[in-house]
Amino acid sequence: MEFYSKQEGCQKLHNSAGTYDFTKQMNDLFDCLNSRRPQDVQYNEAEHIATLKANIKWLEDCCTYIESLPKQRQVCFLSKPTCGALRITLHSTVALIDRLLKSGFRYVLVGNLG
């Protein structure tokens, strides 16, 4: 998407940086949450935790922005229950990973928690 947004022949994708950023953010988050193989995390667990923590911050900023919108515009975005559930999931996942790593685990396959 980023590549095509810079191409002259793809006028409809110009000014799509926000969509690209959102898609990249969600892709990185789901890569962390779907890790099921040791090679996915065993050498970059710190990177996974950093991504999860960055998504917590991003979610807080996103929810604050949505709440600042007029009520009729808020329905076009993430709902409060979904935002709350995602917040709980991210916080509890980070806390669980921290606890397991401090207990001696070398890595945590988050995709196997569900």
Interval 25-61: pLDDT, tens: 888 888 888 888 887 666 677 888 899 999 999 999 9
Domain that holds residue 40: 2-109
Neighbours of 7 (CB within 10 A): 10
Structural domain contains residue 101: yes
pLDDT tens-digit map of 91-109: 999 999 999 989 998 888 8
Alpha-carbon torsion angle 44, 49, 62, 2, nearest 10: 0
Structural domain contains residue 43: yes
Indicate the range of 13-22, 39-48, 57-66, 73-82 predicted with least confidence.
Answer: 39-48
Check pLDDT > 90 for residue 73: no
Integer angstrom CA distances of residue 30 from 49, 69, 81:
13, 27, 19
Work out how many domains the chain is built from and give that number: 1
> Can you give the C-alpha Rg of the chain in angstroms?
17
Structural domain contains residue 114: no
User: Do residues 1 and 23 make contact, with C-beta atoms less than 8 angstroms apart?
Assistant: yes
CA 92 to chain centre: 14
Structural domain contains residue 68: yes
pLDDT of residue 36: 82
Structural domain contains residue 63: yes
Which tokens in the block code for residue 67?
């709440």
Percentage of the chain exceeding pLDDT 90: 27
Strand, coil or helix: 71: helix
